A and B are shown apart, each in its own frame.
Chain A
Amino acid sequence: GAGVSQSPRYKVAKRGQDVALRCDPISGHVSLFWYQQALGQGPEFLTYFQNEAQLDKSGLPSDRFFAERPEGSVSTLKIQRTQQEDSAVYLCASSLARSSTMSYEQYFGPGTRLTVT
């Protein structure tokens, strides 16, 4: 596929359930980002990987949120014991990260809409 794909596209979870959201970045893209987008707002940064290394997780709202990218390609965002405030669209983005470049165009997936009831 040419773009970033995410699955599932929609997820409904009961409060307290654990969920796992998957992101397949563009092949060869080194950097991978997760963002959370609340209704009517812009995306907010959650965490960032360069290859398999999680270089920044400062945006994760609580220790219930965990992300991994074990082989430097596919990434999974896991939310444990979901709460209603976790309801949002979770966007994944990837980019070609060359340390010498100033350009960081990110390519976004369609997102996973999570609804916690």
Chain B
Amino acid sequence: SQQGEEDPQALSIQEGENATMNCSYKTSINNLQWYRQNSGRGLVHLILIRSNEREKHSGRLRVTLDTSKKSSSLLITASRAADTASYFCATLKSSGSARQLTFGSGTQLTVLP
């Protein structure tokens, strides 16, 4: 079953605007990762934030993590039409030997030119 929920399920914005997607999860984590998936393609890793980090930047991406609320957000600034894709958060558990990622249900982002 999925780890948690992503919000919103779908988001449509104009090119140049910022897009914010949220992710909630249920268990204690080692790290949280965001992936992008274009239609019919595999997932591409965007950014990883560790459980002891609160904010991380990579180019036009900004990720925040609030472990007390078990939530994360992904901000894409100055969006482009090429950013149109599904975005998934994924968590790695902090306990046990599990190495698999647990994904959210995703946000479908559409950036209109």
Contact = CB atoms under 8 A, between A and B. Distances in A.
A106 B101 contact: yes
Contacts of B41: 110-111
Interface size grouping (class) on chain B: 20 to 34
B104 A56 contact: no
Contacts of A105: 33, 45, 48
B97 interface: yes
A12 interface: no
B59 interface: no
Interface of B: 1-2, 30-31, 33, 35, 40-45, 48, 50, 88, 90, 92, 97-106
Nearest to A31: B99
A103 B31 contact: yes
B42 A33 contact: no
Nearest to B45: A105
A65 interface: no
Contacts of A104: 30-31, 92, 99, 101
8 contacts: A42-B105, A43-B88, A44-B103, A56-B98, A56-B100, A91-B43, A105-B48, A108-B42
A7 to B, nearest CB: 13
A55 B97 contact: yes
A59 interface: yes
Interface in A70-117: 91, 93, 97, 102-111, 113
